Amino acid sequence: MMKKVCRLNLGDVSTSMNYTRCHSELFVFDKIAERAKEIMQCNGISCSTDGSSEKVILEYINACNKIIIPGKRKVILSEELREKIQKRHFCVGSRIVDKDKSEEIVKLIERFQELFERGEKVEYHLSRQAFRGEKIDLLLNSWNIKHLHLSMLLSNAKSSMRKNRSEWLLFCIVTELQAYFMDVLPHPNKEQFMAYHFLKIAHRNKWMNYIGYSECREVLPETINIEIKNDEDIYNLYESHVNSGFKINGIVYSPYMGIASSGDTMEGSLKINKLRKFIREKLRINNLIVRDINFIKAQSFESIIYGYIFGKESEEYKIECKEFDNILGRLI
């Protein structure tokens, strides 16, 4: 009697393993999105309620980019702003404001310089839209420029922001250790937020790298043929989520990150890819696959992320949410 031979189909096993690992990656990615949503909600930042995990994490990145984390920063004033301060020359349209108003504006600039240098909170002087993760800030996402409402009435809570709104805005670039004060202007209309004026300031002060542009020596100035006649043209360009090079005083600058088709930053999209790769690599290195999805779901999220990704026993590696939030911040 012939014995029945049982053959093991390795292809099926491999496919099953790959499917399970892929499922594991999605599971961890979804959990990170849930945690990102919790962090935003706890900090009074709105986000999409029905978006995908990728959209939620992009909104988290968007919110992080908008907020100014308190910390001592060296303040550097542009040549243009220095001239305005020295001459007490501030304009509303073509009209120069009177001496008393100019003195008031200078005091406001000095006050905010002091706040940055002392590391005080200034986030509640941002636009209220800074606390909407789902809201795209074209000026910030395109050129990395923030704007603050200049007011002596300091706000330490989101609820009191209505009281410190101002007709005068400070436009600045904020890094971890510096704050570059570009200009102070009366509250512009939407087109004037994307003013060619800001590009000229960045060029004159050699700040183009801080707004995401680098000099492109390989491109001849005459080959830049996008017609820009006014600020409205620039606004329409970026509102359509189109990145463009600019010719300033015969020098061509091109964006090295810029804005994505969704309106989010290209950097945000790269961080999403980096996060997915991070999860995938941790799973591969530790040879981790969700073997019992019900057990995994029963654990706290902090246990999941460390027990599951970092290969620690979940009961041995529980941590405080605050510590985990710092890890999330570094990841994305």
b/e string for 50-65 if b means 16 or more Cβ within 10 A? ebebbbbbbbbbbbbb
Cα 63 to Cα 85: distance, rounded to the nearest angstrom: 32
Q: Is the pLDDT of residue 150 over 80?
A: yes
Cβ pair 216, 252 in contact under 8 A:
yes
What is the pLDDT averaged over residues 16-35? 68
pTM over 0.85? The answer is no
Give 55-76 pLDDT, tens digit per residue: 998 898 888 888 888 899 999 9
First vs last Cα of the chain: how many Å apart? Answer: 64
Q: Which amino acid is at 231?
A: D
- pLDDT at 203 (0 to 100): 94
Between strands 74-77 and 146-149, the pairing is unpaired
- pLDDT at 219 (0 to 100): 60
- pLDDT at 36 (0 to 100): 83
- pLDDT at 190 (0 to 100): 73
Share of the chain above pLDDT 70, in %: 74
Kindly tell me the sign of the dihedral angle through the C-alpha atoms of 38, 48, 327, 297.
positive
- pLDDT at 173 (0 to 100): 97
- pLDDT at 170 (0 to 100): 96
What is the pLDDT averaged over residues 213-231? 68
C-alpha count within 13 angstroms, C-beta hemisphere, residue 246:
28
Give 15's pLDDT tier (boundaries 50, 70, 90): very low
- The torsion angle over the Cα atoms of residues 13, 14, 18 and 21, rounded to 10 degrees, is 60
Highest mean pLDDT among 201-205, 221-225, 229-233, 262-266: 201-205
